Amino acid sequence: MSPRRPAPQAPPKPRPKGASQSRTRLTDRLDSWQAHHSTTAVESLQRLFRTPMQSLLTWLVVAVAVALPAALYLVLNNIQDLGYSWQDSGQMSVFLVEDVRPEAIDALLTSLDKDGRIDQVTHVPPGDALEEFKAYSGLGRVLQGLEENPLPDVLLVRPATHDPDALGELRDAIAAKPVVAEARLDMAWVRRLQEMMALGQRVVLALATLLALGVLLAVGNTIRLAIENRRDEILVVKLVGGTDAFVRRPFLYTGLWYGLGGGILALALLGLGLWWLSGPVARLADLYQSDFRLQGLDLTESLQLVLLSGVLGLLGAWLAVARHLIQIEPS
Partner 1 sequence: MIRFDNVSKRYGSGQDALSRVSFDVARGEMLFLTGHSGAGKSTLMKLIMLMERPTRGQVLIDDRNLNRLSRRHIPYFRRKVGVVFQNHQLLFDRSVFENVALPLHIAGYQPGEVGRRVRAALDKVGLLDKERHNPIMLSGGEQQRVGIARAVVNKPPLLLADEPTGNLDPELSADIMNLFEQFNDVGVTVMIASHDLSLLKRMNKRVLALSGGQVAHDGALA
Q: Which residues of the shown chain bind partner 1 in the complex (CB under 8 A)? A: 28-29, 31-33, 35-36, 232-233, 235-244, 246, 329-331
How far apart (Å, rounded) are the C-alpha atoms in residues 266 and 61? 10
Closest to partner 1 by CB, 48 or 96? 48
Go through 241-274 and write b for each residue having 16 or more CB atoms within 10 A of its CB, e for each that does not.
ebeeeebbbbbbbbbbbbbbbbbbbbbebbeebb
Burial of 218 (0-12, 13-18, 19+ CB in 10 A): buried
Closest to partner 1 by CB, 135 or 245? 245
Closest to partner 1 by CB, 106 or 244? 244
Smallest distance from partner 1 to CB 28, Å: 6
Closest to partner 1 by CB, 16 or 241? 241
Closest to partner 1 by CB, 191 or 230? 230
Kindly report the backbone phi and psi dihedral angles of residue 206, in degrees, each rounded to the nearest multiple of 5, phi listed first.
-60, -45
Closest to partner 1 by CB, 242 or 271? 242
Smallest distance from partner 1 to CB 257, Å: 19
Smallest distance from partner 1 to CB 325, Å: 13
How far is CA 12 from each of CA 8, 9, 17, 186, 285, rounded to the nearest angstrom?
A: 12, 9, 15, 82, 84
Smallest distance from partner 1 to CB 255, Å: 20
Smallest distance from partner 1 to CB 236, Å: 5
How far apart (Å, rounded) are the C-alpha atoms in residues 184 and 95? 8
How far apart (Å, rounded) are the C-alpha atoms in residues 14 and 217? 57
Smallest distance from partner 1 to CB 49, Å: 16
Kindly report the backbone phi and psi dihedral angles of residue 222, in degrees, each rounded to the nearest multiple of 5, phi listed first.
-60, -40
